Amino acid sequence: MELSRRQRAALVAICDTFAPGLDGLPAASEAGVPDEIVGAFERHPRKGEVQEILRLLSVWEHAARPPRRFSSLPLAERERVLRSWRDSSLERKRSAYKVLRKAVLHHYFGLPGPARASLGYPGALERTGVALPFEPERAHGDLRIDCDVCVVGSGAGGGTAAGVLAAAGLEVVVLEAGEPATFNGEEIDSLQRLYLEGAASATEDQSLDFLAGWCLGGGTTVNWTTALRTPDDVREEWAAHGVPAFTSDEFARSFDAVEERMDVNEDHGTASGRDLVLERGAEALGWHVGAQPRNVRGCDQNGVCGYCGFGCALGAKRGTAETWLADAAATGARVLVGVRAQRVLVERGAAVGVDAGPVQVRARAVVVACGAFHTPALLRRSGLANAAIGQNLRFHPVTLVAGEFEEPIKSWEGTLQARYSEEHARLDGGYGVRYETAPVHPGFFGAGLQWDGARESLDLAKRYPYLAPVFPLVRDRDAGEVVVGRDGEPSARYRLSPYDLRHLRAGFVGAARILEAAGARRIVSTHARPVSWEPGERGVGHFLAEADARGWDPNRVLYASAHIMGTARMGGSPAGSACDPTGETWEVARLVVCDGSTFPTASGVNPMISIAAVAHLNASALASRLA
């Protein structure tokens, strides 16, 4: 992609305003940040969004008062212009500011070099990972395949379904759009290779960032190994949507089978520095704190473990590539990588295969497990018209609160997630927040870093080793939607409702109290306009009041999610669901959905095991029908 001279000048000036190269560090332009951002533009699937940014860059020189050009202003004046966009009453200006800040500081601190080294981060691990237990195939030229079942996707849903179907004696072909997860531990390179849209996905208004795996094994390859069952009250809620199987013994047996095959256990729960902060704070308050069950075997739970968001260096993570897919491959299933399904082939009201461009698969049945962002897009591209497809989008939104401690926490190290608190999980019936923590590497840190000027931002960045993150994870009651453009690509529309925002604000206070009780000397939020609090001077109510003054509207504070659910939900009627109680679509026979899009409502806990159990249940039913 070639930027015009005007566009490039604007991009360089913006980069060097966010990161001008203080304290002997290189400016962002000297560190290669503009070229990295252009590369991200080139990879972005929704070209309309890229064109909006390019149009903005074309006129950016006039963001200051004419006749002065932005790039000609002194640094303090350029900073003033950026702050005016950050604090604007216009959502589109705040959205544009967020996109630019996130892109610049993500690359500035995430790329190898002096800026990252100044944070005290040791860099990538000197490890190369472990070979997969099977060799996936790569299509060369046109390929025609006949089989019993074509499974689209290889994550918690697709991988599990493939294992179940292959074990039933059926010929299975798995199509995965991503690549195998070769490990190198380098953050930005890994994010670009293994995550949806290079880990830069966001809702249409940019107000919520979300993550999803885009590699062999999907989310099970790159997630944080938290392996929790769907709570009983949520299962009852799902059953009330017309799917009685959710409270059945059969579903319980699916959980048992999934947990056994994926080695879910509580024997690898050594608390990281982050987890110790959460545990110490919760216990000091007299709040619930528990150990997270994890799907690992032989995990070191020390320095290596914190890097497993980039794939597991030890082969200890028991994702679908190491378990269900390996089982399927051992019985003759074919697993193809780098193959993206374009549409499901439908004849006489039944699925008969998959069109994946040069790869054409004919099958007796099709399982769709592309994740709750891409599954509705595939269904729409395949001609399905049910109104529920794409509706009921749930995210488990979080915001981040960080405590600064006297001792180094090194948030990139240690067990991915070992502790949690459910103290406020049921603020209103089954709705509320869970408190968790997670590893934060420099690229993600930069993407969420507060910015009130280059000096203030860099000073905070240098406290990175001493910061411990705690986040409230909201079980969202109210939904958004995934819409599919003319180009067939999905986009997400979602905004936190007043109901869910009340719970998030309560969780914001709860996270701050945990950090205060754990001994934090200073606590900061991720509001775009910085908010900080030093416990002891004033109470937590002052911190909340300052946060309220900054606002909770889109792009005034960081919202993020790694859980996408509900966009092709199962139910008792086509009037309110996309799939019947067995996961088969109401419109097309032998087309079965086996991923998180089937959830009638949000699971309320990290959804990997729930997805795998639903896939096990639905795939078992399909295997019986095909037999």
pLDDT in tens, 36-63: 999 999 998 888 899 999 999 999 988 7
Average pLDDT, the chain: 96
> Could you give the number of structural domains in the chain?
3
538-566 mean pLDDT: 97
Sequence-distant (≥ 6) Cβ neighbours of residue 402 within 8 angstroms: 467, 468, 469, 470, 515, 523, 524, 526
Cα separation, 549 vs 531, in Å, equals 10
Q: Which residues sit opposite 5 in a β-bridge?
A: none
**Predicted local distance difference test score (pLDDT) of residue 616:** 98
Q: Provide the residue range defining the domain that includes 112.
A: 5-117
Q: 513 and 414: one domain?
A: yes
Q: Is residue 140, in this structure, part of any structural domain at all? A: no
Q: Roughly what angle, to the nearest 10 degrees, separates helices 608-626 and 249-261? A: 110
Q: 186 and 306: one domain?
A: yes
Contact indicator for 183, 147 with CB cutoff of 8 Å: no
Q: Is residue 492, in this structure, part of any structural domain at all? A: no
**Of 518, 514, 521, the residue nearest 535 (C-alpha):** 521
User: 287 — phi, psi (to 5°)?
Assistant: -95, 160
Residues in the chain: 627
**Predicted local distance difference test score (pLDDT) of residue 67:** 73
User: Which of 558, 584, 600 is a domain's end point?
Assistant: 558
Residue 127 has pLDDT above 80, yes or no: no
Per-residue DSSP letters for 574-594? Answer: TTT-SB-TTSBBSSSBTEEE-
Q: 346 and 307: one domain?
A: yes
299-313 mean pLDDT: 90
- The terminus-to-terminus CA distance of the chain in angstroms comes to 51
Is 17 exposed, middle or buried, given 0-12, 13-18 or 19+ CB atoms closer than 10 A? Answer: buried
DSSP 8-state symbol, 357: T
**Predicted local distance difference test score (pLDDT) of residue 87:** 97
Q: 174 and 250: one domain?
A: yes
Q: Is residue 302, in this structure, part of any structural domain at all? A: yes
**Of 312, 286, 316, the residue nearest 299 (C-alpha):** 316
13-34 mean pLDDT: 98
Neighbours of 479 (CB within 10 A): 19
Q: 53 and 188: one domain?
A: no
> To which residue do tokens 């698969």 refer?
361
DSSP 8-state symbol, 470: E
What is the residue type of 164?
V
Cα separation, 503 vs 167, in Å, equals 44
Residue pLDDT, tens place only, 575-607 = 999 999 999 999 999 999 999 999 999 999 999
Q: 163 and 256: one domain?
A: yes
Contact indicator for 191, 135 with CB cutoff of 8 Å: no
Per-residue DSSP letters for 4-73? Answer: PHHHHHHHHHHHHHH----TTPPPTTTTTHHHHHHHHHHH-S-HHHHHHHHHHHHHGGGSSSTTS-GGGS
User: Which of 117, 133, 164 is a domain's end point?
Assistant: 117
Q: 593 and 462: one domain?
A: no
pLDDT tier at 563, thresholds 50, 70, 90:
very high
> To which residue do tokens 């996408």 refer?
564
∠ CA(238), CA(569), CA(328), 5° rounding? 100
Q: 384 and 433: one domain?
A: no
Q: Is residue 434, in this structure, part of any structural domain at all? A: yes
Radius of gyration of the CA atoms of the chain, in A: 24
Residue pLDDT, tens place only, 365-384 = 999 999 999 999 999 999 99
Active-site positions read 563
pLDDT tier at 66, thresholds 50, 70, 90:
low
Cα separation, 396 vs 494, in Å, equals 11
Q: 368 and 310: one domain?
A: yes
Q: Is residue 240, in this structure, part of any structural domain at all? A: yes
Cα separation, 420 vs 401, in Å, equals 15
Neighbours of 355 (CB within 10 A): 14
Range among 43-47, 244-248, 307-311 with highest mean pLDDT value = 244-248
Handedness of CA 584, 585, 590, 595 (dihedral sign): negative
How far is CA 250 from each of CA 166, 178, 485, rounded to the nearest angstrom?
20, 32, 39
Q: Is residue 485, in this structure, part of any structural domain at all? A: no
DSSP 8-state symbol, 112: S
- Percent of the chain at pLDDT > 90 equals 94
Q: Is residue 287, in this structure, part of any structural domain at all? A: no
Q: Is residue 126, in this structure, part of any structural domain at all? A: no
Residue pLDDT, tens place only, 161-196 = 999 999 999 999 999 999 999 898 999 999 999 999
The number of CA neighbours under 13 Å toward the Cβ of 214 is 21
User: Which of 558, 578, 610 is a domain's end point?
Assistant: 558
Q: 232 and 366: one domain?
A: yes
Query: What is the domain-level CATH number for residue 572?
Result: 3.50.50.60
Q: 322 and 178: one domain?
A: yes
Contact indicator for 371, 595 with CB cutoff of 8 Å: yes
∠ CA(317), CA(321), CA(326), 5° rounding? 120
Q: 240 and 331: one domain?
A: yes
Residue 78 has pLDDT above 80, yes or no: yes
